[in-house]
A and B are shown apart, each in its own frame.
Chain A
Amino acid sequence: MPTLIETHDVSKSYGNFRALSGVTLAVATDEFVSIVGHNGAGKTTLVNVLTGLLRPTSGTVTFKGLDVAGVGPVRLARLGMARAFQLVHIFPGLTVRQTLATAVVSQTGKAFHLLASLDGDAQVRSQVEVVARLFGFEQLDLEARSLSQGAKKLLDVASAFALRPEVILLDEPTSGVSTADKHQIMRVLVDAAKEFGVRAIIQIEHDMDLVSEYSDRVIAMHQGQVLADRTPAEFFGDRELVATVVGKRRARE
């Protein structure tokens, strides 16, 4: 399987604090990778480095063979990498339709069409409706701020999908969502990925049920380093490892 994202010996320091040290990993086509670890293990820093938001102190980051260290999210979005956030990240005053259309406009390269009519753009409209249907949004003219917490989260993820990315990074897509909703979100996510030809999903996840059920591979982070990179079966088979990465209480469950 061809490699999509690769990091080699990536370190990131803030003064004396090493948030990441010597992280080497690769994500290939058709993989669903979960990154697990304690708070402060370096997961979010890693995702920030992968999405070009942070430039690593040393080491290389490549996406589809291109050096993308610190290139910024706009460029990466254009190259085909999208991201949804841990904390709900929406446009409060924009409607569901406008939120999704923002991504579609970027993806179709229409951002500099200053005098074109957005309402009259059938291509944007139909792409927005496809994403909305997939994620179960029916009332497209509701403002994002008026949605429930779960729906806001879903809209955040849906807008990332509306970019039609090749790779999508999800920072705890189900945090702050009820257990019942979590599975629903994950199913929608996996279906949407298939439908849209997303070639790889990388997610940070705390819920070990979801990790074991949906991922092909688990990357365990601990104190800024990759402690283990295994299949879910291997990972959850190693009691000691699970205890280190997610805590003793969770390991006994």
Chain B
Amino acid sequence: MKAAVWVGLGALAALAAAPLVLEPYPLTLLLQFFAYGLALLGLNLLFGYTGLLSFGQALFVALGAYSAAVCTRKLGWHSFELVLGVAVVVAVVVAVPIGLLCVRYVSIFFGMLTLAFGMLFHSFLFKFYLVTGGDGGMLVERPSLFGMRFAEMDKTMFLTRPFYWYALGLLAVGTVVMWRIVHSPFGLHLSAIRENARKAEYLGVEVRRLRLIAFVIASAFAAVGGTLLGVRTGLADPELAYWTHSGNLIFMTLLGGFSNFAGPLVGAGVFIFLQDSLMSFTQYWRLVLGVVLVVIVVLFPRGLVGLAQSLVARLLRRRRDAHAHRNA
């Protein structure tokens, strides 16, 4: 617990200092990492803690990006705090009815229903050209942060300095909030649902209601991540809602490991940098990612963080044994 806090603070400090040393390009990748990190914190509440695997999480990421586009472009609301508020409200309003329907089902049925809603939204974005811009998407204008527009900065400068720190701050706040949620009485009930929903009911756990709340929280986190993605690329793209994008989110979760808190964050980071370097290296990058996924699922089902944890545990054990041996 203590160690986790120190690791977290260390990572935060390193990431905060990154703009002073790194080139703009890796910083924009880190920005992408902050966005996906937020979405995955939410997805992990749903999957890792509650045991519901959503194949439609991209819907809410896209909702966030489109909220940013509508606010900045159509309504002329440039305050990013306002954009975030709108994105969260929209996500909640959409998540409640979808969730009410989906949480009645579990396992594959839940997954397929969420996938169906995701596809539905993707078609909507494509077909309702006048509202959504169709396949071209909608532009997202540069928002103001705490009322500041940073008009003197070019786009790269804006994204890699003020917006970078803003996004990092959001990820930090999101991480603390999620940490508290999973360590609350509510979080315990979610874990009980994942382990054995029938037994949980007999212990007075309100299974459906809690699943719904987890679904709504996950959606809100995804939407916040989506606003960051929208600002980063300057575009709300219908591809954000496509099912392969939901697949990427699940890939990241599996890569890092969903049986622990930090796994999805690590998975998001590794995925983004792996994808980027593979793409510049070979046109068969999807093939390589596929192989990586197979290896992870077959050999390290607890993901990279799970692997690291068992390595550390083994190292500590060996050291303790050596110590005991010396004393004997």
Which A positions have Cβ atoms within 8 angstroms of B? 51, 72-74, 77-78, 82-83, 85, 89-94, 98-99, 101-103, 105-107, 110-119, 121, 124, 156, 159-160, 162-163
Contact = CB atoms under 8 A, between A and B. Distances in A.
B202 A117 contact: no
A250 to B, nearest CB: 30
Interface of B: 177, 180-181, 183-189, 191-192, 194-196, 198-207, 210, 213
A117 B202 CA distance: 24
Contacts of B198: 89
A90 B196 contact: yes
Contacts of A102: 188-189, 192, 200, 203, 205
Given A98-B188, A105-B188, A111 B210 contact: yes
Contact of B207 (A74, A90, A98, A121): A74
The SS class assigned to the B binding surface is: helix
Contact of A114 (B186, B194, B196, B207): B186
A91 B199 contact: yes
B195 A91 contact: yes
Most buried by A among B185, B189, B194, B201: B185
A124 B186 CA distance: 13
Given A91-B192, A102-B189, A105-B188, A111 B206 contact: yes
A99 B181 CA distance: 18
B192 A74 contact: no
A72 B201 contact: yes
A107 B185 CA distance: 12
19 contacts: A74-B206, A77-B201, A89-B199, A90-B196, A91-B191, A92-B195, A98-B191, A102-B192, A102-B203, A105-B189, A110-B185, A112-B213, A114-B186, A118-B183, A124-B185, A156-B199, A160-B203, A162-B203, A163-B204
A111 B199 contact: no
B177 A73 contact: no
A146 B207 CA distance: 25
A121 B185 contact: yes
Given A92-B195, A94-B195, A103 B184 contact: no
A101 B188 contact: yes
Given A90-B199, A91-B196, A92-B195, A78 B186 contact: no
B59 to A, nearest CB: 23
B99 to A, nearest CB: 16
